[in-house]
Structure 1
Amino acid sequence: MCFFRRVRNVYLRCGHAVNLPEEEIKCDSPRCKFSPNHPSDCVPPSCTQTCWQYHQFPQQYAPNIDDFCPTCKAAQR
Structure 2
Amino acid sequence: MCHWRRVRNTYRRCGHAFDLPDEMIQCDNRYCKFSLTHPSTCVPPSCTASCWQYRQFPQQYNPQIDAFCPSCIQQGKAA
TM-score (norm. length: structure 2)? 0.93
Question: Counterparts in 2 of 1:62-77, with a 5 A limit?
Answer: 62-76=62-76
**Aligned-residue offset at 1:28:** 1.4
Provide, for residues 48-72 of structure 1, a one-character-per-residue CA deviation record: whole Å limited to 9, x for no partner.
1110011001100000001111111
Unaligned runs of 5+ in 2: none
- Alpha-carbon distance in 2 for matches of 1:70, 1:42: 46
- Alpha-carbon distance in 1 for matches of 2:54, 2:76: 45
The structure whose residues are more often strand, as a share, is: 1
- Alpha-carbon distance in 2 for matches of 1:12, 1:56: 30
Question: Residue 38 of structure 1 aligns with which residue?
Answer: 38
Equivalent AA in structure 1 for residue 6 of structure 2: R
Equivalent AA in structure 2 for residue 3 of structure 1: H
Q: How many residues align?
A: 77
- Give SS of 1:57's match: coil
- Give SS of 1:30's match: coil
Equivalent AA in structure 1 for residue 34 of structure 2: F
Question: Counterparts in 2 of 1:17-32, with a 5 A limit?
Answer: 17-32=17-32
Question: Counterparts in 2 of 1:6-17, with a 5 A limit?
Answer: 6-17=6-17
- Alpha-carbon distance in 2 for matches of 1:44, 1:74: 53
- Alpha-carbon distance in 2 for matches of 1:28, 1:9: 28
% same residue: 65
Poorly superposed stretches of 4+, deviation over 3 Å: none
Unaligned runs of 5+ in 1: none
